[in-house]
Structure 1
Amino acid sequence: MHPRRPASTLAERWTMVDGVDIFYRESVNPPDARVITHLHGFGLSGRYLLPTAELLADEFHTLVPDLPGFGRSAKPRNVALDIPDLAHAAARFLDAKDIAKTSLVGNSMGCPVIVEFARRYPERIDRAVLVSPAGGLHNQPLRRAVGQLARDGGREPRKMVGVATPDYLRFGVPSTFKMFRALTQYPSLQRLLELKVPTLVVLGTRDPLLPGPARIKEIAAQDENHVLIVVLDGAAHAINFSHPAELAHVIRLFMDDRPIVDVPGSPRTRIIELHRGANHPEAREEKS
């Protein structure tokens, strides 16, 4: 028999957070490596984030936890977690790892969790990367969100079905209704505009969970501070899974305040800069 192929090149580990067993994946890096923590979306585990996380693990101390109640992590007893609770859980996870500060990369529901984390623990976040943010008015009511997810399913790689289905089944219908209510009640846009750390927002042109280009530009115009918005042409919602090379490339550039350009030698996906706040670090460099 052939040995079982590891599910990830990252090490698979467990820790305890507020009495709850938390499963996570971690890279092995030098002690001075910058930390990036990846936060998953609604009903899912961190497994679908691995294609991007693994590409960044050579340079960054990479962590991919399953938040409490998701994936292989245990559920808190008699507690329906909301966005602030998940942000607190992320902070407590970092406490368990003895990590004082991190950059955060989130997809879908992971984005409002990051925004809340930045509001509660501003001294603990270096940079924020929000990939396909979800939870706004465009995703309400639940039947609309379900329809959007169904359309998105046909636009994602077939392998995504095999990754996502076990996570959704494990999460369960009751948890889905409770978490959706908590997600849609969270003031994501207001909190986003209040962010005080360098922030990269990555959107896909084929994402049915996001509003149209006109609304995105209208929202972007409200921010002149730290937000950089980049669009991946042809990508849908689960960009971390479907376009890992392009996303990892953009994240590396953002982390080093370098200009956002296409992946060298790759014609697969155009990377388009849609908006740059006047006070973004790279914008300030261009002015000087």
Structure 2
Amino acid sequence: MTPVRWSPGDDGAMAERGWQDRRVEVQGRSVYVRMGPAVPGSIPLVHVHGFAISGKYLMPTARALAGRATTVVPDLPGYGRSADWGHPLGIPSLAWALLEILDALEMERVYLVGNSMGGPVSLEVAHSAPDRVAGIVLAAPAGGMHNQPLGRALLQLARDVTRESLRMMPVVLPDYLHFGPLNGLHLFSELMRFPAHERLLRTPVPTLAVIGSRDPLMPPLERVRELARLAPPHLSVVVIDGAAHAVNYSHPGELAHVIGCWLDGRDIADDPAQPGVARLLPIRPPSGE
């Protein structure tokens, strides 16, 4: 491994002692991976980015969690600093590639923390290789009926842009331009058709879903409750008031606190020291129903 030399306009002023970069190969193509300090004996936390962008915007939350477990933030094949694949990989192919990355890193079992498209990719990995996944965190998972048809999803995405921090634009805009509008539209269309709700309702591993109250790509909370009541008991749903879609960037402290509570098996409660208010969404029917 070679220590990362961060610079503004790259991954931002995010240098942390012990963070390193690494390159592994997937089918003969180079994949770039950010590695936090090793935490011996921990189950690694692997952060999975959204569509058309790299893992750069996930770094605030990844850094906040780096002290509790070995933390990994890859750029999936075709994204960011990873080699181009020649065409955008679909959700199942990205899930397969993520498993190949874990193999290359010699990580047998991990927690996955996916934002937006990273949610469906994480669900796909959990369904295809549940023995490799200790649990998944779905931070604003995109896809499903609420995002259909495509025109509706594009309007939701446009609304979300107005709700995100302006500080995120220099981080993600170069990634969007690099990925290209045609590739982005093609993959976004596939993402909106992905059966995220069906996968979530049948999740085979412990799962935490975190939703921002200002995220236009998420269904209304009553609809979330209705769907979650059909899910297995190892699903928990948390709402962070004030967060939009890129909660990993806008509310890293609150999100990291929620994830830490869930990993430790503690009651999930708000961290008053962090922006945003986290609240566990009651989804189980009252006893006797």
Q: Same fold (TM over 0.5)?
A: yes
Task: Name the Cα RMSD after superposition.
Answer: 1.8
Secondary structure of the structure 1 residue equivalent to 2:281: strand
2:281 paired residue among 266, 270, 274: 274
Whole-angstrom CA distance in 1 between matches of 2:149 and 2:250? 27
> Which residue in 2 is equivalent to 1:29?
38
C-alpha spacing 1:224/1:150, structure 2 compared with 1 (3 Å): same
Structure 2: which 5+ runs fail to align? 8-12
Shift of 1:196: 1.8
> Which residue in 1 is equivalent to 2:190?
182
Shift of 1:249: 0.3
> Which residue in 1 is equivalent to 2:139?
131
Q: Does the CA contact (< 8 Å) of 1:227 and 1:276 recur in 2?
A: no
> Which residue in 2 is equivalent to 1:53?
62
* 1:60-100 per-position Cα deviation (integer Å, ceiling 9, x unaligned): 100000111111111223x5411110000000000000110
> Which residue in 2 is equivalent to 1:282?
none
Seq. identity, %: 45
Aligned residues: 274
Q: Does the CA contact (< 8 Å) of 1:226 and 1:277 recur in 2?
A: no
* 1:87-138 per-position Cα deviation (integer Å, ceiling 9, x unaligned): 0000000000011000000000000001100011110000110000101122
* 1:145-198 per-position Cα deviation (integer Å, ceiling 9, x unaligned): 222122111211111111111111111122112212322332211111111211
Secondary structure of the structure 2 residue equivalent to 1:248: helix
Q: Does 1:112 align with 2:120?
A: yes
Structure 1: which 5+ runs fail to align? 279-288
Q: Does the CA contact (< 8 Å) of 2:116 and 2:139 recur in 1?
A: yes
In the TM superposition, 1:1-288 aligns within 5 A as: 5=7, 7-9=14-16, 10-77=19-86, 79-263=87-271, 265-266=272-273, 268-275=275-282
Worse-matched range after superposition: 115-124 or 80-89: 80-89
Q: Does the CA contact (< 8 Å) of 2:76 and 2:82 recur in 1?
A: yes
C-alpha spacing 1:111/1:277, structure 2 compared with 1 (3 Å): farther
TM-score of the two chains, using structure 1 as the length reference: 0.90
> Which residue in 1 is equivalent to 2:10?
none
Whole-angstrom CA distance in 1 between matches of 2:111 and 2:95? 14
Whole-angstrom CA distance in 2 between matches of 1:186 and 1:237? 18
